[in-house]
Amino acid sequence: MVLKICSIKFNYVLFFFITSCFFCQSQTGTSVTGLWTQYMYKKALNNDWAVAGDFQYRTYEVGKDFQQFIARAAVSYRPAKIAIEFQAGYGYFTGQSFSAGDSTTSEHRIHQDLWFASNVSNRFELKHRLRIEERFIENQDFRSRWRYTLFFNVPLNNKTIIDHTLYAALWNEIFINGQTDTGIGTVEYFDRNWAFAGLGYKLNSAIKFQAGYMREVTPAISKGQLILTVFHSL
C-alpha cells in the first residue's frame, strides 16, 4: 500500500499554513544570524534496513558564539513494496543559551520517525516526517515533543532530481511540547517553528549539497539561521 495525498491543493495549503501561522504572534526579533553546519549520512544494510544519522555544529552568530553540538544515529526500516520508512534512534546534545558564557547543558534524546512521500507530480518531491522525541535534559524533568516536517524540492535544470541537478529546497517544521512543566519552570505547548528556503545540488547518487536561510520562531523570539548541509549515502 502506498500512502498518497491525492490533492495537490491540499499539500500547498498545508505547507503555507504551517509556514505562516506562527509568524502572526508577537515575538522579539533579532538581527543576529546564526550558522548551522550539518552532515547527514545513511548506509543501506540490505533492501529493507539501513543506519542513518547526523552531526551538527551550531553557532548563534556566523562563526562565533557556540550554540549546540549534535551527534545522532538511528536504525531505519522500509518494508518491501510499502512507501513508508520507520526510524528509531538516539541523539546526544550539548549546548548553551544565547550569550550564556561557557555554561553548557547536555541532553540525551530518543526519537521515532515515520517518513512517507506524496506522489502528486513527477516535477517535484514532496516528503513528510513525523517525529516523536523523549527528552532527558540535564537538571530538568522528562519531557516529550512532537514534530512534523514537510519537505518540498523542485528541480531547476532537469525534469527530476537526478545526478547534477540544481533544485529549490523548501521545508517547514513545527514542534509541539508534550508537557509544559520542565522541573525548573514552564514552557508553552507550542515550542517553535522552522521555515527554510534554499538551493540544493545533487552531485551523484552518493552526495548532495544544500544551503539556505531558515527563520526560527519561538513564543519569545524570531531569529534567522544560515544552514549548510551535506547529505551522504555511504
- Answer yes or no: is pLDDT of 30 > 90: no
What are the backbone angles phi and psi of residue 177, rounded to the nearest 5°?
A: -75, 140
Comparing 63 with 5, the larger pLDDT belongs to: 63
Query: Cell digits for 83?
Result: 512507501
HSE at residue 75, side-chain half, CA atoms within 13 A, is: 5
At the topology level of CATH, where does 8-233 sit? Answer: Porin (2.40.160)
Contact 131, 113 (CB under 8 A): yes
What average pLDDT does the chain have?
88
The predicted model gives 23-40 an average pLDDT of 78
- Answer yes or no: is pLDDT of 146 > 70: yes
CA torsion 197-25-8-77 (nearest 10°) is 70
The reported pLDDT for the residue numbered 119 is: 77
Place of cell 517518513: 115
- Answer yes or no: is pLDDT of 165 > 60: yes
The reported pLDDT for the residue numbered 56 is: 98
Global pTM? 0.86
Contact 70, 92 (CB under 8 A): yes
Contact 225, 36 (CB under 8 A): yes
The reported pLDDT for the residue numbered 71 is: 98
